[in-house]
Each structure stands twice: as structure tokens, then as C-alpha cells.
Amino acid sequence: MNRKPIIIANWKMNLSSSGLERFFSHFTIDDKDLDKVQTIFCPSFTLLSQVCSFISDRPLALGAQNVFWEERGAYTGEVSAQQLSDVGCQYVIVGHSERRRLFNEDDEMVNKKIQLVLKHKMIPVVCLGENFREKESGQTRKVIEQKLSVCLKDLRSFELKKIIISYEPIWAISTNPNNPDKLADSPEEAQVIHKFIRKTVGNMFDEHTARAFTVIYGGSVNPENIEGFAKMNDIDGVLVGGASREADKFQKIVGAYLN
Ligand code: PGA
């Protein structure tokens, strides 16, 4: 099955309005080439409109880093799916490990967010992965199975085909305090887990869904290691944090999918 590569820039709480012009003037990949992949920029909420104006009319998409699971109401500090859609978002990251660790988000909350994002016709990018302790004790598959069963609860297979799962081993994220050398998972090991995710989804839904839906990798991806991930069969793209903040690095990463 031919799945279009997805490359996501997760800028986290970085970049400011003044840096955008510089970033996009250095992001010079031809639109004709960009058509071959789906490149998505996820800035902070306050920069969404501005980024939207930089990318409009180009084969680039806008995504948010988070959303709340209720439609509206007294939820000070939260942002709704409708508000994200209104500002031009097509994608929303849910369940990033930083949100899980710092804001106690759990799989039940992620499930509610996924459902709302889909209802608003946007695509959820569902992050999940094991921490270092779980990896070391051989729990990776169990943890992933458990997370998938709760995060994807009550979804139908036609909805699942639209979802992106981002496998992000928490220990491999560059800002993880336990990863001072910013070491990524090896592409070979990540491929094995991606295949496992596809198989698990196949068991939960059906074979066709498992082949159609998108699973990408996140965790210390950079221009030096991207080639390894780009050539793996079950790794459909990458979610990039640190290396997405500099246009030249990020376009090298996108470029790896254009050969
Ligand atoms: P990183 O971030 O590329 O800086 O490791 C990835 C992520 O947090 O999703």
C-alpha cells in the first residue's frame, strides 16, 4: 500500500513571530517536490494564524500541538477543536509525552480528544511510546498494546484510516533529561515496533485498516539519521522536534523523502 510520507515539525513552545519570516524564507523546497509528501507545521497556538498566512497556497499544512476534549465552556486556558479548525488547522497532535508527563494526560483523555478532532474533520496525530524503564524491562509491546486499546477505543475502521500514530519512545526524545546525547531509536528497532503497531491495529480492526493507516516515528530525528528512517517499510514519516526549528535542517529531513 502506498502511503504518502508525513513529516511534522513540532515547534513546541519555541519560535516567535519575528522568527517566522526568516524560517520560511529559508525553507526553499520546490512546491512541485512538496506535493510528493505531506509536510505539517505545528507552532504554538498564538502563531497559528501567522504560520497559516506563510503557508497558504503552498502544499504545506497547519497543525496544533494540543486541543481540549470538550466543545466549549468554562475551561480557562484551553483551546477547542472548532477554534483550531477556524484558524486553518488540518492536524492536531494529541497525547504527546510532554503533555502526559507534565500535565498528567492519560489515554482516556487522548481518546476523547481523538474523537473530537475527528468530529471536526481534522486529523489527530496520536503520540505514544514506552519510557526507558519499560523498555529495559521488556515491556515495550505490552505498553503499546495497552495504549492503543484505550486511545483507539470506540473508533471505527474508516476513522482509523485517517489517523496518524506517532510512535515516540519517550527515552529517545531529544529533550528528555535522560537522553543528554540526543540518541534516536535505531531505524531497525523502530521498524520492528512500527510493524507491531500495524499488526496490533490489524487485530483490533482489520487487515485493510492496518495497511492503510499511517505510523510515523518521533525522537531525536535529525538530518544525519533521517535516511535510515526514510527507507523503512513501515515507518511512514517522522515527527521532528528540535531539528525542525531550523529551516535548513528541516528541509534536509523533508528532502530525504523526495529521492
Ligand atoms: P525531538 O522531539 O525531535 O526533539 O526528539 C520529538 C518530539 O518531541 O516529538
Question: What digits encode the pLDDT tens for the residues 47-75?
Answer: 999 999 999 999 999 999 999 999 999 99
Tens digits of residue pLDDT in 131-172: 999 999 999 999 999 999 999 999 999 999 899 999 999 999
What spacing in Å lies between the alpha carbon of 206 and ligand 1's midpoint? 30
Tens digits of residue pLDDT in 30-43: 999 999 999 999 99
pLDDT cut 90: percent of the chain above it: 92
Pocket of ligand 1, candidates 183, 216, 239, 252: which has the most ligand atoms within 8 Å of its Cβ, to mutate? 239
Closest ligand 1 atom, CA of 222?
A: 3
Q: How many other CB atoms are there within 10 angstroms of residue 71's CB atom? A: 11
Model confidence at 175, pLDDT cuts 50, 70, 90, reads: confident
Span 217-234, average pLDDT: 97
Which three three-digit cell numbers place residue 26? 529559508
Helix axes 48-55, 17-26, angle to 10 degrees: 20
Residue from 105, 130, 168, 194 carrying the catalytic annotation:
168
pTM score, whole prediction: 0.96
CA angle 205, 211, 213 (to 5 degrees): 75
Model confidence at 88, pLDDT cuts 50, 70, 90, reads: very high
Active site residue 98: no
Model confidence at 177, pLDDT cuts 50, 70, 90, reads: confident
Residue-level pLDDT at 143: 98
What spacing in Å lies between the alpha carbon of 74 and ligand 1's midpoint? 31
The shares of helix, strand and coil residues in the chain, as percent rounded to the nearest 5, are: 45, 15, 40
Residue-level pLDDT at 46: 97
Q: Is the pLDDT of residue 2 over 80?
A: no
- HEC-encoded secondary structure of 63-106: EECCCCCCCCCCCCCCCCHHHHHHCCCCEEEECCHHHHHHHCCC
Residue-level pLDDT at 1: 58
Residue-level pLDDT at 180: 84
Pocket of ligand 1, candidates 168, 244, 253: which has the most ligand atoms within 8 Å of its Cβ, to mutate? 168
Residue-level pLDDT at 110: 98
Active site residue 108: no
Residue-level pLDDT at 146: 98
Q: Is the pLDDT of residue 100 over 90?
A: yes
